[in-house]
Amino acid sequence: MPLVTAGVVVLDCAEPEKLAVFYKELLQAEETEATADLVEIRAVGGLRLGFRRDANATPPSWPRPENSFQAHLDFLVEDLDAAERKVVALGGRTLEAKEAPGPYEERGCADPAGHTFTLRRTRQRGPKQG
């Protein structure tokens, strides 16, 4: 048995209930625990996220250098455009798009509380061409 196992990624925010709804909808997750100051969810595939109340939470300022990265999440998607539309519909926003050809296309986004994450296109798993 390992000494340390993966737990929960916790994001501090002013309104954990609202942020949990954003990620529950984005990840098709289920709520596993809720208290006055913490909401936890579990996504398909087992990713666990927590949202902890902090009235003094300061959103990251990425891409500006001051207070830029506090944490960063990557989400794999098949359809970047559809995923981006869902983020925006749920109250998030797009920060940056990298339209490089190939399997590494990605888009920088922020959730409603300002935490940054990347939508990254999943690699094609078909046979190699040529």
Residue 66 confidence (pLDDT) above 90: no
Residues 106, 60: Cα–Cα separation, whole Å: 19
Under CATH, domain 58-125 is a member of which superfamily? 2,3-Dihydroxybiphenyl 1,2-Dioxygenase, domain 1 (3.10.180.10)
Task: Give the residue among 107, 98, 101, 102 at the shortest CA–CA distance from 123.
Answer: 102
CATH number of the domain at 8-56, out of 3.40.50.300, 3.30.720.120, 3.90.45.10, 3.30.429.10? 3.30.720.120
Task: Name the residue type at position 110.
Answer: A
Q: Tens digit of pLDDT for each residue in 9-52? A: 889 899 999 999 999 999 999 999 999 999 999 999 899 999 99
pTM check: above 0.75: no
